[in-house]
Amino acid sequence: METCSEIPRFRACENSVDSSEREKSSVDETLRYETWDVFTDRRFAGNPLAVIFGADVLSGDAMLRITREFNYSESVFLLTPRAADCIARLRIFTPGGELPFAGHPTVGAAAAIARQRGQSDEMVLELPAGRFRVRVAGQGDVWHAEFENPNLPAVRADGPDALRLEAALGLPEGSVATESHMPRRCGAGIDFFYAAAPLAAVKDARLNTAAWDALSLDDACGVLLYAPAAPGSGADWHVRMFGPHIGVPEDPATGSAAAGLPAQLMASGELADGSYDWWVEQGIEMGRPARIRVRFEVRSGRFESLAIGGDAVAVCAGEVRWES
């Protein structure tokens, strides 16, 4: 993997920014943007996202600065695709650097493109992590998108020690599971560490930034703390995602982490062959409730398919003025 000191990258984002790319923003530019709330059908809930159109003129450094200006968990930049079958190429940034894939920018970008075209559609989006086929339906300001993830869930490695996770998340000793649901590093496009705890502990978790640094997460994007959702909630899993080292102390909705959750559950002995259709709830403790749909197939003990979906609602629109 190439590296770039100015723009950190997490989990093998290959498109490093070289000096020639930094020269793109040599004149003043005005670009249109929209903001969307994703994994919700109502404004001021879910995960906010900035979608910047016509971003071919921007360098990676400019994209990172614009992302930090919005200061959302992520911003997504729409560029001309390189692949003939794709409608757009996406570059996704957190305030801490660039990601090869993320869930709510993929859903939000597809919704923004479909709304701009004024029709429900099926499209292919080009990301550093692959080509993502997306089905989009809706009208007005509310849309629903579901993408097929070409990166199937997989376990990468064991996770940090439970005691260190408890310290980093402000949990009492013994809260994090250590047997079948032991912490593991899993991913489906990008990696997270997964840790199970009782529902009350998940809800009470509080980030301890001093203890967080001792986790040594390397290029993993964060920790997903999970528990079975409460009966009657309409969800299967209640989760929270913490990633202060990528500029996201806590994320209201993390489709990419939900995408890797099946790998953790399979390794824990929870999954038999069959078709699964989960709802994952997140963001409740932040006052931004979100719901992520996770559909997947398991055959002969292997993942055969994975789709992530949810609603998105348009919130704001305007212009970004960029001066080199």
Distance from C-alpha of 200 to C-alpha of 87, rounded to nearest angstrom = 43
Q: Using the Cα atoms of residue 61, residue 63, residue 67 and residue 69 in order, give the sign of their dihedral.
A: positive
DSSP readout, 231-259?
TTSS-SEEEEEEEGGGTEEEES--HHHHH
Distance from C-alpha of 166 to C-alpha of 149, rounded to nearest angstrom = 31
Cα distances (Å, whole numbers) of residue 47 to 72, 99, 250, 310, 313:
8, 16, 11, 11, 10
- Residue 189, token pair as written in the block: 């496009």
Q: Are strands 237-243 and 274-282 parallel, antiparallel or unpaired?
A: parallel
The CA R_g of the chain, rounded to the nearest whole Å, is 19
Q: Say if residues 268 and 67 touch (Cβ distance below 8 Å).
A: no
Q: Write the DSSP symbol of residue 9.
A: B
Would residue 74 show up in a list of annotated catalytic residues for this protein?
A: yes
Would you give the distance in Å from CA 28 to the centre of its chain?
31
Q: What is the dihedral of CA 102, 294, 283, 96, to 10 degrees?
A: -10
- Residue 76, token pair as written in the block: 């997504």
Q: Which of 29, 74, 166, 250 is catalytic?
A: 74
E strands present in the chain: 29-38, 47-52, 74-79, 88-94, 97-99, 121-127, 130-139, 142-148, 154-158, 184-187, 191-196, 223-228, 237-243, 248-251, 274-282, 290-299, 302-322
Tell me which residues are annotated as active site. Answer: 74
